Structure 1
Amino acid sequence: MSIFKDLNDVKLDLSEFEEMPLSKHEQKRILKKVKKEISLRKPKKKWLGVGIASVAVCVLSLSLTIDKGTIASMPFVGGVIEKYINSNENLDYSAYKTAIGETAENELGKLTLNEVMIDDRQLFLSATFEPAEHVDFDYQTYITPKVKINGKVYTVTTGGQSVELNNKMFMIYNDIDLEHPIKTENVQMEISYDTWNFDTKIEQPWTFHVKVSQAKLLEEKKVFEINKTITLNNGENVTIQKVVTTPISTTVYYDLSQSKSENVYFKIQSKDGKLESYSSAFTSNKLGDVSFVRFYGLKFEQTKYFLVAYDSRGHQLSNVSIPIN
Structure 2
Amino acid sequence: MKKNIYDMLNEVEIDLNEYDIEDFSDIEKAKIKKNFKKSIRNKNTLYKKGAIIASIAILSIGLVGSNLGNQVWACANTIVYDIASHLGIEKSLDEYKTVIDKSITNNGITIKLNEVILDKDELIISSIRKYSEKIGEDSLPITADIYINGKEVSDACGGGSRKIDEYTVEDIMSYDLEENDFSGDLNIKAVFSNARINGKTKKGRWVFEFKTNGDELKLDTKEISLNNTFTLENGQNIILEKYTSNNLGQKIYYSKTPKGTDYDMVLRGHDDLGNKIEFYASRETASNGIFKLTTIHGNLNENAKILTLTPYAVKFPEKSGRMSNDFKKVGKEFTIDLSK
Give unpaired runs (5+ residues) of structure 2.
1-14, 72-78, 315-325
1:292 equivalenced with 2:290 (yes/no): yes
1:222 equivalenced with 2:213 (yes/no): no
User: What is the aligned partner in structure 1 of residue 311 from structure 2?
Assistant: 309
Q: Which residue type is aligned with residue 106 of structure 2?
A: N
Find the aligned partners of 1:299 and 1:187 in 2 and give their Cα distance. 33
Q: Which residue type is aligned with residue 290 of structure 1?
A: N
Q: Secondary structure in 2 aligned to 1:253?
A: strand
Q: Secondary structure in 2 aligned to 1:197?
A: strand
1:44 equivalenced with 2:43 (yes/no): no
Asked whether the equivalents of residues 107 and 202 of structure 2 are also in contact (C-alpha less than 8 Å), the reply is: no
User: What is the aligned partner in structure 1 of residue 332 from structure 2?
Assistant: 319
Q: Deviations over 1:44-63 (max 9, x none)?
A: 13343334411232312213
Asked whether the equivalents of residues 268 and 277 of structure 1 are also in contact (C-alpha less than 8 Å), the reply is: yes
Asked whether the equivalents of residues 104 and 112 of structure 1 are also in contact (C-alpha less than 8 Å), the reply is: yes
Q: 1:208 to 1:237 in 2, by over 3 A?
A: closer
Find the aligned partners of 1:200 and 1:156 in 2 and give their Cα distance. 25
Which structure has more helix as a fraction of its residues? 2
Question: Deviating runs (4+, > 6 A) in structure 1?
Answer: 198-201, 232-236
Find the aligned partners of 1:232 and 1:111 in 2 and give their Cα distance. 44
Q: 1:273 to 1:317 in 2, by over 3 A?
A: farther
> Which has the higher mean CA deviation after the structures are superposed, 189-198 or 233-242?
233-242
Q: 1:265 to 1:118 in 2, by over 3 A?
A: same
Comparing both chains, which one has the higher relative contact order based on Cα–Cα distances under 8 Å and sequence gaps of 6 or more?
Answer: 2
User: What is the aligned partner in structure 1 of residue 239 from structure 2?
Assistant: 239
Q: CA deviation at 1:91?
A: 4.7
Find the aligned partners of 1:180 and 1:280 in 2 and give their Cα distance. 19
Find the aligned partners of 2:280 and 2:196 in 1 and give their Cα distance. 24
Q: CA deviation at 1:293?
A: 1.2
Give unpaired runs (5+ residues) of structure 1.
1-37, 67-76
Q: Secondary structure in 2 aligned to 1:164?
A: strand
> Which has the higher mean CA deviation after the structures are superposed, 216-225 or 52-61?
52-61
Q: CA deviation at 1:116?
A: 0.9
Relative to the length of structure 1, the TM-score reads: 0.70
1:266 equivalenced with 2:234 (yes/no): no
Find the aligned partners of 1:204 and 1:291 in 2 and give their Cα distance. 33
User: What is the aligned partner in structure 2 of residue 102 from structure 1?
Assistant: 102
Q: CA deviation at 1:151?
A: 1.8
Find the aligned partners of 1:93 and 1:247 in 2 and give their Cα distance. 7
> Which has the higher mean CA deviation after the structures are superposed, 299-308 or 96-105?
299-308
Percent identical = 18
Q: Secondary structure in 2 aligned to 1:217?
A: helix
Bigger Cα Rg: 1
Q: 1:268 to 1:184 in 2, by over 3 A?
A: farther
Q: CA deviation at 1:207?
A: 1.0
User: What is the aligned partner in structure 1 of residue 151 from structure 2?
Assistant: 152
Q: 1:236 to 1:163 in 2, by over 3 A?
A: closer
1:114 equivalenced with 2:128 (yes/no): no
Q: Secondary structure in 1 aligned to 2:83?
A: helix
Q: Which residue type is aligned with residue 316 of structure 1?
A: K
User: What is the aligned partner in structure 1 of residue 205 from structure 2?
Assistant: 205
